[in-house]
Chains A and B, each alone.
Chain A
Amino acid sequence: MTRPEWFVALGLLVFALGSVRLLFVRDTVTRLVALNIAGAGVFLVLIALAARTDPPDPVLHALVLTGIVIAVSVTGLGLVLIRRSDDGADESRDGDAP
């Protein structure tokens, strides 16, 4: 296997690990982290595909950059929702929670 091929395989492995964790864990923060890991796996595959040529393919790099921006914003949204649902759970336990 060439080096890019190794990295494609590695990226797919990381994607699979993240996806499995996302499916089988209940804790919401863990699931959000797992989603980010799965995303990192996909980005690794795309970067490895770009590295097959010299110089590397800029279009795939642009896709990864956009993908990272989307992943960051989605993570932010997810964290807000986690805080909200945790606050809601606290309120239902005792009335004077923040």
Chain B
Amino acid sequence: MTSLLPAFVVVPALVATLVAMIPRIGAVAAGATALAGVVAAVALTLRVSADGPVDVALGGWAEPVGIALRADGLSAAFVLFTAVVVLVVTVFASGSSAARGTPFFWALSLALWSGLNAVYVAADLFNTYVALELVTVAAVGCVALGGRSAAAPALRYLLVAVAGSLWFLLAVGLLYARTGTLSLRLALDVLRDPTDDGALVATVLILATVGLALKSALVPLHAWLPPAHAGAPAAVSPLMSAVVIKASIFVLYRLWTSLPADAATTSLAVLVGAVGSVAVLWGSLAALRQARLKRVVAYSTVAQVGYFVLLLPLVVPALRPEADDAARAVAELAVQGTVAMVAAHALAKSAMFMAAGCLLHARGTDEIAALRGAVVTNPGAVLAFGVAGVALAGLPPALAFSGKWQLLTAVLESGQWWWLIALLGGGLLTAAYTVRVLAVFVAERETGTENTPVPVRMTAATLVTAVAAGIAGVASAGWLATTTVGVF
């Protein structure tokens, strides 16, 4: 098992190289790798839940000299839902060459997956930086598969993402200069020194949070996301929204849960939470006003990123030296709830983007006004869109419901009731923009609209993902408890 951890990074990278040379075998090779990836991710999650975090020192070189990999509960959860999304998107993409853009889709999506896994299992900050850049380059390449019209959004995405990485690199450099180590766990020992005034930790967190907010499109740094996610080919958009955004969110969680907190970082966390609340409302309202289906789904992602940062103000009180058991219990609940929301968003959002891809395939456009009567011509895709929208809004037994419930409990127990506005208001708005689109789908079809048949496997992959998002909340409390293993 210990030798399995590097395989999460190495195997997709090797297969990516192989299919870049022989694009003919792309679908088969990517499908087999994705299937093996899901099995391995389940095995990793079970192992972490039974025996605690997995540590590997590559080549037998221990930290600080060697490259160390580490998978705790948080890593395992992110690796698992990423593998599931990659598998369903692979099935979806094998249905239509138009959905893939060019045959290079297979190599780029596998390289992207390798980079994402590298982010999740990196034990030191510099590997995290390199892995984030791998993700950026592969993701930009994926967006650019959308042809010439996608080149400008892809470039904009590249510039923003690399600028975000520079902020993060500055933070890493400062942390290293102060602590003499790149490993977060070793750095923590130095920073726990009570004579430290905490100014450095606050500076590092500000720099890193700005950089990662740029990369994950937190309002007001979100303008690049809708054109990039909506302009990408049908099979790329679900990967972008469901998993690529999560890489920088993961690093954000990792940093904030690993560094000690004081009064300054607590107010910083509250500020980030407030920005997140604005993001939930702003993104949802923007989603309500879009004329194109893929734009609606993309703005919905902007709103969801706001939810993900609500974790910070709930978790920070537990990291202060004077924290009691109640604060720690709140933090654990909040982490479990947020990871459930992140995983739920991964499933539901990939289903929504795949449904949009099916309709785009059928009608040749994603103008909402041109999709009247889709419920008759493409019932599977419309059903999937509806189920995914309801799952995203957080109705039971969806996974997002379990997540919201845990987060709600954490909010009430921590006494920070004001986060409820975004938490509950966002759910209502999610239902609103889903219903607005569904209302058009069930309207009577205009005569003379063209309708190309959609390959069965595209609709099937979409529907399975949506239903999974809709029912994954059942009995989720058990495995959600795994997500905090070894995190604090």
Residues of A bordering B, CB below 8 Å:
15, 19, 22, 28, 31-32, 35, 38-39, 42, 45-46, 49, 52, 59-60, 63, 66-67, 70-71, 73-74, 77-78, 81-82, 84-85, 87-88, 91
Contacts and interface: CB of A to CB of B under 8 A. Distances in A.
Contacts of B182: 59
Contacts of A84: 144, 148, 151
Given A42-B170, A81-B151, A88-B148, A60 B158 contact: no
29 contacts: A15-B166, A19-B163, A22-B159, A22-B163, A31-B159, A38-B163, A38-B166, A45-B170, A46-B173, A49-B173, A49-B174, A49-B177, A60-B176, A60-B177, A63-B169, A63-B172, A63-B176, A70-B165, A71-B162, A74-B136, A77-B141, A81-B144, A81-B152, A81-B155, A84-B148, A85-B151, A85-B152, A85-B155, A91-B148
B216 to A, nearest CB: 18
Contacts of A67: 169
Given A60-B177, A84-B151, A74 B137 contact: yes
B363 to A, nearest CB: 23
B330 to A, nearest CB: 36
A78 B159 contact: yes
Given A60-B177, A63-B126, A82 B172 contact: no
Contacts, number: 83
Given A59-B182, A88-B148, A15 B137 contact: no
Interface of B: 126, 130, 133, 136-137, 140-141, 144, 148-149, 151-152, 154-155, 158-159, 162-163, 165-166, 169-170, 172-174, 176-177, 182
A77 B177 CA distance: 31
Given A35-B162, A42-B169, A81-B151, 9 more contacts: A38-B166, A45-B173, A49-B174, A63-B176, A66-B130, A77-B158, A81-B154, A81-B155, A88-B149
Dominant SS among interface residues on chain A: helix
B67 to A, nearest CB: 12
A66 B176 CA distance: 16
